Structure 1
Amino acid sequence: MKKKISRIFEIIYKGSIRVRIYGLFYLCYPILRFIPIKKNKIVIDNYWGKGYGDNGKYICNYLLSTDKKLDIVWLYEPKYVSSPENEFPTEIRYVKNRTFKSLFEMYTAKIWIDNVRKNFSINKRKGQYYIQTWHAGFSLKNIERNVADKLPPRYVKRAIKDSEMCDLLIFESSDMIEDVPYTFWYEGLLYRKGVPRNDIIINPKPEVIDKVYSSYNISKAKKIVMYAPTFRQNYDLKIDSQFLKNVVSFLSEKFDKEYVMLVRLHPNDTKSKESIFQDTSFGNTIIDASSYNDMQELLCATDTLITDYSSTIGEMMVSEKKCFIYAYDYDHYMKDRGLLMDLSDLPFPISKNEGELKKQINEFDNDEYLKTVRRFKKQHNVFESGHASADIGNIILEQIES
């Protein structure tokens, strides 16, 4: 027995920080298991420790509006959130992710909320309730079980365990994925009446738009175009700075308005930022918005979106704003990941090179565009209720009060 205990301590001592934290936690388990679940505690993670954004934010905002006595804990990473005291509402406690304390908060919370698969977590206890909000607003790409052979085995194992713990999965409304439970290795309850973070897309607030313009010191006389490419799993995004400048010029000339571009890279894309922003001649025309903590606020302020295979096209369908698909690497991407629908079947202008994109912008007809978008939404059941945050918030309150 002494040798076994000694061996455990040796593994902890020589292991990574992650192993040490887990080891310490489970060494304390004989004591921890007597600590009860705190019924009004909610622990939230956003993209493995990012700031106050995505679905968790909008669920929180609703819960805070109810004036219920709740203990809401947000798990954050300092590399994403440098000043948590300035980012989170005062009613929310923020705790550093990947620490003993973060595991303890999860262990004693009644409710868990996450938008990605948990990669630093304990096993869920009896009596706890786990809500997986996911992070896509429209299903264009093959995901999860449908591409299990292309995903890292470690991720697949983690995804299956995550789904086994999950009590409620929030997923967008469309018919793009035929069997959502199968795709997610999931057998529990589904909520498909809207995505909490899109409530603000349905009910935009002028003060939110003003906040975005103010954050980047953009004149209200200018329009915002956002370039938001998706993540490439096995190769890098390739976009040169001149292309971005040209897009701004194309739009300004077509719509006789001065445009500013926000570049919003995927949370998993850490390499492209350096290559794109090597250009020092951008001035105030091309702005890096990758670190802004709420994509939905950016979308509220955006006039036009340029993207590729990103699920953000779902928000553009709902808001019926201008959206152009720029798929310069279509053939390569199809081999890498694949799509549920051919790009030509989407209700957006499609281009595979800069010349085609310029032509699509020059020939854009908003009336025809709206007809196409509305027809597609009706055909594929794309909708947002505008009150998903309240629906999910009330489910949480019911769990807490039961």
Structure 2
Amino acid sequence: MLKEKLKNLVIEMMKLFPIKKNRCIFYSSYGANYGCNPKYISQYLKTSNKDIEIIWALNSPLKYNIEGIKIVKNMSLKYFYNLATSKVIITNFRTTRDFQKRKKQKYIQTWHSSLRLKQIEKDAETSLPKDYIFQAIQDSKKIDYLVSGCRKSTEIFKESFWYDGVILESGTPRNDFLFSITEVERKNIKNSLGIDDNEKIVLYAPTFRKENNLDIYNLNYNNLLESLKIKFGGNWKVLLRLHPHLINLSSNIKGQNILDVTKYDDIQELLGVTDFLISDYSSLMFDYSITKKPCVLYTPDLNQYISSDRKLYFDIEKLPFKSVLTNEELNNYILDFEINFYENNLEKFLEGLGSYEDGKASERVADLIKTICAGE
């Protein structure tokens, strides 16, 4: 109780300082990482406008040394000072009560997916904690701009976000990387993971379950790697990327040729080097579709998930990504995979979404920030 009172006192004191018109503060996943949409917006901004001061709030600031960016420890005095004095606040998750928006501040909510399969926010209200719902509703009142990746996403936001303000139909900043990644960048990312240039990568990136049950992630990795080798040739490595909610549990999943990358900051970099994606109900499938590379959904708990966890925005059988229920079905799908059939279905699906993705989303959001900072 005393700690909370002291924090509230600090927040009120910081409001005595003037807002700096060229200062912007960014954070991702409540300070857990330097990644997602805020990362790519800040990277573009620092190269296109040297006059804007870029602040990043991170839980472990000593891990990072990013040229052109000032880093503060999340929830520190410097954090509260910069939060209170920044002209623009950019994040990808809901803000908490610690962000008490001032009159001349602007808040850009980028969210953390370009589109989603599982229902979110108001649409999933009965599945979410009451405390989170309250936090989300309060956060929506603070938002000035909400970033959207496609027409379908805009429709979902209008229905689910408790928000009727400006939706910036810019595309998804973090997806710009999938348009621009170079061979040198691919090589450097793989080398940082200890993977040879000639090795191929299958990324298994499922979402979390309500009870944080790990039993559902029961891939037969040996058979998976054998099927991939038979179908596509080469040597394969499995990357395991669990949801951030499970960051402390991922090491419990064991297997030969499995590299746990759950703590890797930037999922977009992992998608950029992945040759085959296995997911389930995660929004990553829509980001990965930009690469046009194979993706399959391993959903052994499909009926249970829909009935007790989250309902879906799409009929999973009508997605261009095949849904399989067993390891046997997964291996058969790989062995029978037809790239032309997959690409044709994918193209038709993306056309129906009304995608705004073209590799220039960060530029559009950065231009908005420049305009805000140049104003009053």
Q: Shorter-chain TM-score category?
A: over 0.9
Q: Secondary structure in 2 aligned to 1:102?
A: helix
- Kindly provide the amino acid, as one letter, of the partner of residue 380 in structure 1: L
Q: Secondary structure in 2 aligned to 1:202?
A: helix
Report what 1:173 is aligned to.
Answer: 150
Quote how far apart the aligned CAs of 1:374 are.
Answer: 0.6
Counterpart-to-counterpart distance in 2, 1:34 and 1:101 = 14
Q: Secondary structure in 1 aligned to 2:295?
A: strand
Counterpart-to-counterpart distance in 2, 1:331 and 1:88 = 46
Higher RCO structure (Cα 8 Å, ≥6 apart): 2
Report what 1:109 is aligned to.
Answer: 86
- Kindly provide the amino acid, as one letter, of the partner of residue 9 in structure 2: L
Asked whether 1:273 is paired with 2:230, we answer no
Q: Is the 8 A contact 2:114 2:153 kept in 1?
A: no
- Kindly provide the amino acid, as one letter, of the partner of residue 290 in structure 1: T
Asked whether 1:392 is paired with 2:365, we answer yes
Dislocated runs of 4+, deviation >6 Å: none
Q: Secondary structure in 2 aligned to 1:175?
A: helix
Quote how far apart the aligned CAs of 1:380 are.
Answer: 2.5
Which of the residues 241, 256, 259 maps onto 1:287? 259
Superposition RMSD on alpha carbons, in Å?
A: 1.8
Q: Secondary structure in 1 aligned to 2:82?
A: helix
CA distance 1:327–1:21, shift in 2 (3 Å) = farther
CA distance 1:33–1:310, shift in 2 (3 Å) = closer
Quote how far apart the aligned CAs of 1:25 are.
Answer: 1.2
Counterpart-to-counterpart distance in 2, 1:218 and 1:241 = 24
- Kindly provide the amino acid, as one letter, of the partner of residue 64 in structure 1: K
Asked whether 1:300 is paired with 2:300, we answer no
Asked whether 1:220 is paired with 2:192, we answer no
Q: Is the 8 A contact 2:251 2:260 kept in 1?
A: no
Q: Is the 8 A contact 1:98 1:120 kept in 2?
A: no
CA distance 1:120–1:243, shift in 2 (3 Å) = farther
With structure 1 as the length reference, what TM-score do the two structures score? 0.88
Report what 1:118 is aligned to.
Answer: 95
1:84-99 equivalences in 2 (<5 Å): 84=63, 87-99=64-76
Which of the residues 284, 290, 293 maps onto 1:321? 293
CA distance 1:348–1:179, shift in 2 (3 Å) = closer
Q: Secondary structure in 2 aligned to 1:253?
A: helix
Counterpart-to-counterpart distance in 1, 2:140 and 2:154 = 17
Q: Is the 8 A contact 1:138 1:174 kept in 2?
A: no
**CA deviations over 1:79-120 (Å, ceiling 9, x no partner):** xx6x33xx3412111111122331221111101001001135
Quote how far apart the aligned CAs of 1:202 are.
Answer: 1.8
Report what 1:149 is aligned to.
Answer: 126
1:35-74 equivalences in 2 (<5 Å): 35-74=17-56
Report what 1:75 is aligned to.
Answer: 57
- Kindly provide the amino acid, as one letter, of the partner of residue 332 in structure 2: K
CA distance 1:383–1:325, shift in 2 (3 Å) = farther
Asked whether 1:22 is paired with 2:7, we answer yes
Quote how far apart the aligned CAs of 1:20 are.
Answer: 4.7
Report what 1:379 is aligned to.
Answer: 352
Report what 2:167 is aligned to.
Answer: 190
Counterpart-to-counterpart distance in 2, 1:164 and 1:96 = 26
- Kindly provide the amino acid, as one letter, of the partner of residue 24 in structure 2: I
Q: Is the 8 A contact 1:202 1:384 kept in 2?
A: no
**CA deviations over 1:318-341 (Å, ceiling 9, x no partner):** 221110111011112112111111
Asked whether 1:202 is paired with 2:152, we answer no
**CA deviations over 1:17-55 (Å, ceiling 9, x no partner):** 4x15423315xx3x5443110111111110011222111
Over the matched positions of the two proteins, sequence identity in percent amounts to: 33
Q: Which structure: larger Rg?
A: 1
CA distance 1:126–1:383, shift in 2 (3 Å) = closer
Quote how far apart the aligned CAs of 1:143 are.
Answer: 0.5
CA distance 1:33–1:194, shift in 2 (3 Å) = closer
Unaligned 5+ segments in structure 1 are 1-10
**CA deviations over 1:237-258 (Å, ceiling 9, x no partner):** 3256761232122111211221
- Kindly provide the amino acid, as one letter, of the partner of residue 192 in structure 2: S
- Kindly provide the amino acid, as one letter, of the partner of residue 313 in structure 1: M
**CA deviations over 1:333-390 (Å, ceiling 9, x no partner):** 1121111112111001221010110111111011111111111111222341210100
Counterpart-to-counterpart distance in 2, 1:364 and 1:326 = 15
Report what 1:231 is aligned to.
Answer: 208
With structure 2 as the length reference, what TM-score do the two structures score? 0.94
Counterpart-to-counterpart distance in 2, 1:360 and 1:227 = 16
Q: Is the 8 A contact 2:247 2:263 kept in 1?
A: no
Report what 2:340 is aligned to.
Answer: 367
CA distance 1:243–1:174, shift in 2 (3 Å) = farther
Greater mean deviation of Cα atoms: 96-105 or 260-269: 96-105
Unaligned 5+ segments in structure 2 are none
Counterpart-to-counterpart distance in 2, 1:240 and 1:341 = 22
Count of equivalent residues: 374
CA distance 1:33–1:23, shift in 2 (3 Å) = closer
Q: Is the 8 A contact 1:37 1:107 kept in 2?
A: yes
Q: Secondary structure in 2 aligned to 1:290?
A: coil
Counterpart-to-counterpart distance in 2, 1:346 and 1:241 = 23
Report what 2:311 is aligned to.
Answer: 338
CA distance 1:50–1:347, shift in 2 (3 Å) = same
